Amino acid sequence: MLQIPFSDATIEPGTVISWSLHTKRAAAISLTSASFNQDKHHSSSEATRSTSDGIASSITVTFEITGELDTKALEAALLLLVRRHEVLRCEFQRLAGDLNCTALAPDSITLEAEEVGRFHNGDDLHTHLDKTFKSIDTLSWPLFLMGAVVRDNGATVYLCFDHIVCDGLSMPVVVNELQTSYAALSAARTPELPAAASYLTFGDDQRRRYAALRPDDDRLRYWKDFIRGNGGFFPRFPFDLGVPEGHLYPLVNRALPLLDPHRTDALAAGARASGGSVFTAVLAAAATAQHRFGGPGVYRGLLPISERTDEGRGEHGGVNAGEADGAAGGAAGGAAGGASNPWQHSVGWFVNTMPIEFRVGEGGTDHATTIARARTAYGALQRHTDIPFVRAWELLAPETFALHHWPFPVNFFSYIDFRRTPGGLQHPLWKPKLHVWAARGNGISHWFHRTATGLHVNMLHVDTPQAHEIGDALHEELVRVLREIAGERDSVPVPIPRPSRARPAVRS
């Protein structure tokens, strides 16, 4: 699964069919508290509805079905997906200040198909889909949309979700489940799918466990130690992006290659020789690239961490892949992704966000030392992943918690090995693409990911001259460092000139 901006996607023209959800409104089955992530996301959307700082965002997935499409089988597979996952059937309502979820009964949901029209060229199709995807509204039901571009020899299926109902690791779950169901239903068989737990149950339990948390609780010790070293709750991106504090800008969405499959395998070997993994090697390389570019000798950043463990929290299968290099879906292949805990096959926003800090190796070239330090720091982080990020923010930085965005550009790093997600071995056949979109922001974010085609990064950053210049230069430096770890020390390019506007914002 490749993560790219939708503007880079190429979808062959055809007839667009969309499916919309319908329900009997009286058929609610449960009322739960929203998760901390959902509550913050929803309140931010409410706060910016009538302002120019709209923070709309969505996560879209596309994939291919080969051969003549069985439309009825695909519709049945889509309906089964919605009925299996409560979060896709929920409505949100704020009562007495708390955000609540109402899940609608599975059998109350029906789908209605509409033939939108025939598109004869890719530009018109792309314009239509892009407008459709950006119509998702956090404050309106339903919170996702789905459809297909149908051709004589196959179809491109698409689903677009508001972030409030899913995360990045939900996308391979969705693709694997739909492909599995479609294959069975088109052959007149009953789909065999792994157990999937409910994100609404997860979110409600999380709220109950941490609603009474107070700033003096010892479970916040890891965060407090980080704050003391960092000088604040959020780790600032260490270069000036030309963004005044308090301002949001349109975002540029770029996908860039890092290493081909051969070099990625060499990187993995180099990382193992240093006692690490591809994840810790990429993290160490990002820290080293920033340091060489004039940044601090101590890397401080925020990492998204998966909560898809047997208990519904922790690192196993993390959004940051950890030492398992992204064993996010139990078994790496098979139609259903193999047997594993039910959270691995659930749709929802199973992401915590945690701070990490470690020192870069002396001189910025001691990769083995930096990888070891990154691994040690990540091990320490894993012991404290139970505290929800939003709750820690509310308790430890209340002066900025009312903001509907992070207060300034933050050092943000994410890594997924999509080969290890449910159905990952089938991705070269299914050709899934993940498209993350956000309307506005104030910083720069990097989503690193590994696929069968190598190592890649999707980068979202503010549309300023400084951000373009710094993003390009850091990417070139990062590739250089990754190749050094992979053993290409004799072919390292000469150092690139430092852009004049890439002055450090903070130092250590």
The domain limits of the chain are 1-454+463-501
Read off the pLDDT of residues 6-21 as tens digits, 9 standing for 90 and up: 999 999 999 999 999 9
In sequence order, what are the residues at sequence separation of 6 or more whose Cβ sits closer than 8 angstroms to the Cβ of residue 80? 181, 191
- 192 has pLDDT over 70: yes
pLDDT of residue 114: 97
- 496 has pLDDT over 90: no
Tokens of 38: 């959902």
- 431 has pLDDT over 70: yes
pLDDT of residue 69: 98
Average pLDDT over every residue of 314-326: 38
Mean pLDDT lowest among 17-21, 151-155, 359-363, 486-490:
486-490
Contact 82, 90 (CB under 8 A): no
Q: Please count the other Cβ atoms lying within 10 Å of the Cβ belonging to residue 228.
A: 9
Mean pLDDT lowest among 4-8, 64-68, 359-363, 502-506:
502-506
pLDDT of residue 321: 40
Q: What HEC string does 173-227 produce? A: HHHHHHHHHHHHHHCCCCCCCCCCCCHHHHHHHHHHHHCCCCCCCHHHHHHHHHH
Tokens of 128: 């239509």
Read off the pLDDT of residues 228-256 as tens digits, 9 standing for 90 and up: 999 999 999 999 999 998 889 999 999 99
Mean pLDDT lowest among 82-86, 100-104, 113-117:
100-104
In sequence order, what are the residues at sequence separation of 6 or more whose Cβ sits closer than 8 angstroms to the Cβ of residue 16? 115, 116, 117, 118, 119, 125, 128, 129, 147, 148, 149, 150
Average pLDDT over every residue of 406-430: 97
* C-alpha–C-alpha distance, residues 247 and 267, integer Å: 39
pLDDT of residue 247: 87
Average pLDDT over every residue of 280-299: 97
Q: How many residues does the chain have?
A: 508
* C-alpha–C-alpha distance, residues 446 and 463, integer Å: 15
Q: 119 to each of 5, 20, 201, how far by Cα in Å? A: 21, 20, 42
Split at pLDDT 50, 70, 90, the class of 320 is very low
- 339 has pLDDT over 90: no
* C-alpha–C-alpha distance, residues 387 and 484, integer Å: 36
How does the average pLDDT of the chain come out, rounded?
89
Q: Which CATH class is domain 1-454+463-501?
A: alpha beta
Split at pLDDT 50, 70, 90, the class of 498 is very low
pLDDT of residue 508: 37
Mean pLDDT lowest among 191-195, 214-218, 363-367, 466-470:
363-367
DSSP conformation letters of 403-440: SSS-SS-B-EEEEEEGGGSTTGGGHHHH--EEEEEESE
Contact 154, 65 (CB under 8 A): yes
Give the rounded percent of residues in the chain with a pLDDT score beyond 70.
88
| Model pTM score | 0.91
Q: Please count the other Cβ atoms lying within 10 Å of the Cβ belonging to residue 27.
A: 14
- SS3 (DSSP) at 154: strand
* C-alpha–C-alpha distance, residues 157 and 65, integer Å: 7
Alpha helices in 308-424 (DSSP H): 367-382, 389-396, 398-401
Long-range (24+ apart) CB contacts under 8 A made by 131-135 are 132/18, 132/160, 133/6, 133/58, 133/60, 133/160, 133/435, 133/437, 134/56, 134/58, 134/437, 134/439
Read off the pLDDT of residues 58-77 as tens digits, 9 standing for 90 and up: 999 999 999 999 999 999 99
pLDDT of residue 356: 98
Split at pLDDT 50, 70, 90, the class of 25 is low
pLDDT of residue 10: 95
pLDDT of residue 390: 97
pLDDT of residue 50: 61
pLDDT of residue 335: 34
**Would you say the C-alpha torsion 60, 61, 65, 70 has a positive or negative sign?**
negative
Read off the pLDDT of residues 433-490 as tens digits, 9 standing for 90 and up: 999 999 899 999 999 999 999 999 999 999 999 999 999 999 999 999 999 999 997 5
pLDDT of residue 54: 65
